[in-house]
């Protein structure tokens, strides 16, 4: 089954404790992206990747890192999480210029 | 960055009625896409319309695109309670897909 898998789905952590949200897709998509969704602000893009070893900043990259060492994986790293990074995070993938396939989301709370 | 803006922000209708949502954007695009999101879940792609297309249909969905006005509309005909969700437009130009803030549709049985 074609899918985008994110883990963990739910996480409560404390300020400053490094965490990684994993994202994996099985559709051989070149393009992958991370979004955060906050009430009243819609979906905002954090980082995206057009292919292996190619990553670019989205609209809200501060406080986040990503890597794309393999085509199928695109982890999101929060080196030192802060409460303003409490949000619902989505990973998505697509062929270049195609429709996006979304994961089920990761709800992160930073205390 | 270019961004689709949906209108209205929220819409409440009776089952069986048609629902129309609008999207406006600011710069030239290659295509415009509509997505649906059930509460807290991942977005699901509904339909893509290219910049050289004016209208597209998929089941009970009808999308129009007016590039001169930089606007699009999504019509859901004969709505059902299961259509209750948030609907987002997303535009793709020379930059990656950018989403609007969505329209929250409530269909009352």
Instruction: Give yes or no for residue A109 having a pLDDT over 50.
Output: yes
Q: What is the mean pLDDT of chain A?
A: 95
pLDDT at B100: 86
Instruction: Give yes or no for residue B106 having a pLDDT over 60.
Output: yes
Nearest to A44 by CA among B1, B34, B76: B1
Instruction: Give yes or no for residue B76 having a pLDDT over 90.
Output: yes
pLDDT at B98: 83
- Closest in A41, A92, A100 to B101, CB measured: A41
- B98 vs B80, more confident: B80
Nearest to A35 by CA among B98, B34, B44, B105: B98
Interface contact flag, B40 A42, Cβ < 8 Å: no
pLDDT at B67: 95
Instruction: Give yes or no for residue B1 having a pLDDT over 60.
Output: no
Residues 6+ apart with CB under 8 A from A53: A68, A69
User: What are B8-40's pLDDT values in tens digits?
Assistant: 999 999 999 999 999 999 888 999 999 999 988
Distance of CA A25 to the CA centre of its chain: 12
Q: What is the mean pLDDT of chain B?
A: 92
- Closest in A41, A45, A102 to B43, CB measured: A102
A-interface mutation test, from B87, B96, B101, most A Cβ less than 10 A away: B96
User: What are A47-83's pLDDT values in tens digits?
Assistant: 999 999 999 999 999 999 999 999 999 999 999 999 9
Instruction: Give yes or no for residue A104 having a pLDDT over 80.
Output: yes
Residue B75 β-bridge partners: B20, B62
Q: Which residues of A touch B (CB under 8 A)?
A: 4, 31, 33, 35, 40-43, 45, 48, 58-59, 88, 90, 92, 97, 99-105, 107
B-interface mutation test, from A43, A50, A105, most B Cβ less than 10 A away: A43
Mean pLDDT score, A84-91: 98
Degrees, nearest 5: CA angle B42-B48-B50 = 150
Instruction: Give yes or no for residue B2 having a pLDDT over 50.
Output: no
Interface contact flag, B42 A43, Cβ < 8 Å: no
């Amino acid at each position: 089954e074609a899918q985008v898998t994110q883990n963990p789905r739910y996480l409560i952590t404390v300020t400053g404790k490094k965490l990684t949200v994993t994202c994996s897709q099985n559709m051989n998509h070149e393009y992958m992206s991370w979004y955060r969704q906050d009430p009243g602000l819609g979906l905002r893009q954090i980082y995206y990747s057009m292919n292996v070893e190619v990553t670019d900043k989205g609209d809200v990259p501060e406080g986040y890192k990503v890597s794309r060492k393999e085509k199928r994986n695109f982890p999101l790293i929060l080196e030192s999480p802060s409460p303003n990074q409490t949000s619902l995070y989505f990973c998505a993938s697509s062929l270049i210029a195609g429709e996006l396939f979304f994961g089920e989301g990761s709800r992160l709370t930073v205390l | 960055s270019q961004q689709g803006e949906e209108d209205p922000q929220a819409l409440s209708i009776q089952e069986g009625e048609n629902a129309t949502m609008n999207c406006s954007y600011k710069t030239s695009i290659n295509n415009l896409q509509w997505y649906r999101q059930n509460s807290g879940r991942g977005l699901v792609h509904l339909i893509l319309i290219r910049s050289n297309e004016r209208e597209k249909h998929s089941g009970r969905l009808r999308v129009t695109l007016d590039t001169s006005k930089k606007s699009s509309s999504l019509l859901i005909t004969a709505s059902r309670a299961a259509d209750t969700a948030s609907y987002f437009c997303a535009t793709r130009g020379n930059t990656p897909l950018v989403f609007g803030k969505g329209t929250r549709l409530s269909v009352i049985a």
